[in-house]
Structure 1
Amino acid sequence: MKLRLDKFLADMGLGTRSEVKKAIRKGLAQVNAQTIREPEYKVDTEADQVLFGGQPAAYREFEYYMLNKPAGVISATEDTKERCVVDLIESRMRKDLFPVGRLDKDTEGLLLITNDGDLAHRLLSPKKHVDKVYFARIRGRVTEEDVECFRQGVDIGEKKRTLPSELRILEAGEISEIELTIREGKFHQVKRMFQAAGKEVLYLKRLRMGPLVLDESLKPGEYRTLNTQEMDILC
């Protein structure tokens, strides 16, 4: 792929477009060992070797990270007051990463961080009905009646009931443990579904989104790049 040198460098987070333009004109960029002072110079991202400030600058069109989102971090790219999930990806090269979908601030678990808009659309499009699987601890005894209610769709105060979902009881008691599969992503959906059943979500963790399954070796706040097998099933 051919790119302007200033866009190449800016995409890799090495400065704003205006900053890298100034740096290029000062002679801080080299392509194939030749100093380039024209920001509009076209770089072959596959073949050319680029140095910026004497350091190699490799180009990566897309990045894909699996994050085990911790509680207390918001699903956003930037915020003036809160820490965002993108801030946790310290090894990122791209400056345009974003979370695919969102998890509530107090919710943990699987979150895909990327800059691939097409993939995000495939996973988030309401028409696709992509499965999202959650583990939760619930205040109150979850019953087979709840299972059937969730299977039929739950009235959470909107025009339409939720789509049918699959509720599996792992442990029933004063504090119940469940696994829930939903196929949409309404605001606070899981919490609202259990609230409609007269219960309260105490802890919520996403385990799977579509074919992508959380790597349980990742502690909350840890991340890794997607492996080849994961990329194959997603793309």
Structure 2
Amino acid sequence: MNNGNTRGGASGRGGSGKKSGPSKPMNKARKPGTSAAKPAKDKYTDEKPEDAPKTAKPRSPKAPVVKKGQDTFAKKDGYPRAKPAADKKPSEKKPAVKKKSDEIRLNKYISNSGMCSRRDADIYIASGNVKVNGKVVTELGHVVKLTDEVDFDGVRITPEKKEYILLNKPKNFTTSGDEDTDMRNVMELVRGATKGKIQPIGRMDKNTTGLLIFTNDTDMVRKFSQPNQKSFKIYHVSLDKNLKFEDLEKIAAGVYLDGHKLFIDEVSYIEGEAKTEIGLKLRTQNVKVVRAIFESFKYDVLRVDRVSFAGLTKKNLPRGNWRFLTEQEIINLKNI
């Protein structure tokens, strides 16, 4: 009677219960309880034994996509979970120190003045070649006010763009700061031209008319204020009486004023005008000198009009009007 320990006709005690496939005849009988031998390929045929069914590998769960900017805070199934953006703590940043509207870094101040680049300005600062309000500053990143006085390598500079304005000055305007009922300052005439701190080159009294240059270029102001500067100015002078020819020749030979000889480049009668109208060419821009020349010969000067300044003329510039100089005119002034 069958004890129930065998399956599907498998005989013998201790059988493995596995179904055995076809096998090569063996010379020796198989011992009871041993499993069937592994089928082998017949060397006389191309037939292969049946392959064992392949077992599919379990698929791993798909990793979640972590979006840019999200943090990971835990792992699930071996993969990090995306941290919700709402849970992200805001980064703690130090509040930026705001500069006042009238403050600027020293190297930018120097760069804006046109002296050099910011990088080169740092080199000058570190070398001790920059002064602020008379004191040497070597600290990089130093902040200054627009009202501070900055000396760069011995030269006073301003952080403004260099601007040059030519005015045809009318009467009853003066370059002095004295207040009078019948005198107004020339700055009124160019007030809307620029926000820069411009100033006139030289002085003019209320009765003198003609060309006057305004600029914030302190180097140019200093250049044309020197007594030995080489630029020519031409004046149209009106006298109270005719200029004698012998006096004209004496003026052309040079005039002594305060013990110093003043050289006159050219003096002549104005063609087509009365002998009271004189043209005078010289290098000084001091209008007082022009008046003193004729007064030394007992003539009263009624009017002085500067019609040319360092090659600039009044062409297309009516009385009381102004204009900006062209780039070429600026170059010419700097090269004089």
Give the structure-1-normalised TM-score: 0.68
Question: What residue number does 1:232 align with?
Answer: 331
CA–CA distance in structure 2, aligned partners of residues 98 and 185 of structure 1: 15
CA–CA distance in structure 1, aligned partners of residues 324 and 237 of structure 2: 26
Residue 230 (structure 2) pairs with residue 169 (structure 1) = no
Mapping 1:67-216, distance limit 5 Å:
67-76=167-176, 78-81=177-180, 82-156=183-257, 158-170=258-270, 176-186=276-286, 188-211=288-311, 213-216=312-315
CA–CA distance in structure 2, aligned partners of residues 188 and 148 of structure 1: 21
- The structure-2 alpha-carbon separation of the partners of 1:170 and 1:196, relative to structure 1 and needing over 3 Å to count, comes to same
Residue 121 (structure 2) pairs with residue 37 (structure 1) = no
- The structure-2 alpha-carbon separation of the partners of 1:152 and 1:36, relative to structure 1 and needing over 3 Å to count, comes to farther
After superposition, the C-alpha distances for 1:118-159 in whole angstroms (9 at most, x for unaligned) are: 112222211224321101222222233223211222234x12
- The structure-2 alpha-carbon separation of the partners of 1:219 and 1:41, relative to structure 1 and needing over 3 Å to count, comes to closer
Question: What residue number does 1:21 align with?
Answer: none
Give the Å deviation of 1:229: 2.5
- The structure-2 alpha-carbon separation of the partners of 1:224 and 1:186, relative to structure 1 and needing over 3 Å to count, comes to closer
Give the Å deviation of 1:84: 1.2
CA–CA distance in structure 1, aligned partners of residues 304 and 249 of structure 2: 21
CA–CA distance in structure 1, aligned partners of residues 317 and 279 of structure 2: 20
CA–CA distance in structure 1, aligned partners of residues 320 and 308 of structure 2: 17
- Residue ranges of structure 1 left out of the alignment (5+ in a row): 1-34, 47-58
Query: Over aligned residue pairs, what C-alpha RMSD do you find?
Result: 2.7
> Greater RCO between the two (CA within 8 Å, min separation 6)?
1
- The structure-2 alpha-carbon separation of the partners of 1:95 and 1:181, relative to structure 1 and needing over 3 Å to count, comes to same
CA–CA distance in structure 1, aligned partners of residues 285 and 191 of structure 2: 28
CA–CA distance in structure 2, aligned partners of residues 193 and 207 of structure 1: 18
- The structure-2 alpha-carbon separation of the partners of 1:36 and 1:132, relative to structure 1 and needing over 3 Å to count, comes to farther
- The structure-2 alpha-carbon separation of the partners of 1:36 and 1:64, relative to structure 1 and needing over 3 Å to count, comes to farther
Residue 317 (structure 2) pairs with residue 218 (structure 1) = yes
- 1:38 maps to a residue whose letter is K
After superposition, the C-alpha distances for 1:30-49 in whole angstroms (9 at most, x for unaligned) are: xxxxx983224546869xxx
Identical aligned residues as a percent? 27
- The structure-2 alpha-carbon separation of the partners of 1:165 and 1:197, relative to structure 1 and needing over 3 Å to count, comes to farther
- 2:305 maps to a residue whose letter is K
Q: Compare CA radii of gyration and give the structure with the larger one.
A: 2
Aligned residues: 186
CA–CA distance in structure 2, aligned partners of residues 174 and 67 of structure 1: 28
Q: Higher helix fraction: Structure 1 or Structure 2?
A: 1
